Structure 1
Amino acid sequence: MDLTRFRTGLGLALVGVFVSGCGIFGGERDTPVETQSASEIVDDIIYEDESRPQSTLFDFFRNRNDAGQVGAVNKYIWNASLETLDFLPVQSVDPFTGVITTGFGTPPGGGRAYRATILVNDPALDARSLNLALMTRSGPASAATVRAVEDAILTRARQLRQQDSRF
């Protein structure tokens, strides 16, 4: 009996040593290599030992951030949402997460009160960037109503984009 226990214990110890050698128990993790961007590498080549200027003529040709972004959301969809649903009282606004929460309000010429929660979750001017939840006092609004409001917001966002591109 003691020989069987010894063999079992020795076998488990060998399996444990083998498995720990494979790295399953958390050994050293691979860390990503941080590299310079292409523009930084070119700048290092051009300005080897000289003092690097703050900006150059070539900065004009480099990619710049999109002017349509406010934090991580599209500013046209953001502003269009606020303009389209301006009859609803705004309760909270967070442009960094892209969430607009409103209270109950009645649209002009309508008899039913609505409350909206809008999520703009992408900097692209795209229908997938807009998520809208409409509630009435008796429950969720119909899908047709939600679709109509989404279409109105996206149409206004395109109009704002066109107005902005004229300047």
Structure 2
Amino acid sequence: MRYNRLYTTIVSAALVVSLSGCGGGSSGFGSGLFGRKAATTTSLDTREANRAQTAAVNKATGEVTTQSSFFDLFRKSDNPNSTVNVNKYIWSAALEVLNFLPVESIDPFSGVIVTGYGTPPGGGKAYRATILVNDPALDARSLTLSMQTRGGGAVAPETLKAVEDAILTRARQLRIQDSKL
């Protein structure tokens, strides 16, 4: 038991000493954990400016290459092509309300649902829809709906408004139902 503690202490000390030599800088003897100078902090704007300066343009191909770091994975990205947040209640409600339309393609990462032609229960016209859910908020701004008839004609604004209202109402019901769990 005593030897086990001694062994653990020696291994831990050796690990600390070996990692202390893995410091930044290339000044040789004075670098590492014990010889390191005080770290300076830079603002986010300064770091962004430095990143912009490190961008290089390949003259032959015109490609722009930038250096990135491990911490870029945890930074919020402003590029809308990289991440789209989708409201799960509007997403589910759109699929439920328009369940009479066959789904042709669905992409939860971009928030797009494309349906084929289908006839609503009790209706005579065939419709198709394209739904875009582009915001995580349970809000009317998060939903964009486009519908057309089989002949390619536009759908009456009242019909489009009624379908949007049905989707948003069902989304609110799902949210309330989910909060009761």
Shorter-chain TM-score above 0.5 = yes
**What does residue 102 of structure 2 align with?**
89
Deviation at 1:140, TM superposition (A): 1.3
For 1:9-65, what per-residue CA distance to the aligned partner results, in whole angstroms no more than 9, with x for missing partners?
xxxxxxxxxxxxxxxxxxxxxx83459xxxxxxxxxxxxxxxxxxxxxxxxxxxxxx
- TM-score normalized with structure 2 length: 0.54
**What does residue 111 of structure 2 align with?**
98
Q: Which residues of structure 2 form unaligned runs of 5+?
A: 1-43, 49-83
SS for the counterpart of 1:97 is coil
Pairs aligned (count): 103
**2:170 is matched with which residue: 149, 156, 163?**
156
Q: Which letter does structure 1 place at the counterpart of 2:164?
A: E
Q: Which runs of 4+ in 1 moved over 6 A?
A: none
Distance in structure 1 (CA, Å) of the matches to 2:104 and 2:45: 42
**What does residue 32 of structure 1 align with?**
45
Q: Which residues of structure 1 form unaligned runs of 5+?
A: 1-30, 36-70
**1:119 is matched with which residue: 132, 137, 142?**
132
**1:141 is matched with which residue: 155, 158, 171?**
155
Distance in structure 2 (CA, Å) of the matches to 1:163 and 1:102: 27
For 1:66-99, what per-residue CA distance to the aligned partner results, in whole angstroms no more than 9, with x for missing partners?
xxxxx61000000000000000000000111100
- TM-score normalized with structure 1 length: 0.59
Tell me: higher relative CO, structure 1 or 2? Use CA pairs within 8 A at least 6 residues apart. 1
Note if 1:73 corresponds to 2:98: no
Distance in structure 1 (CA, Å) of the matches to 2:143 and 2:91: 9
Q: Percent identity?
A: 69
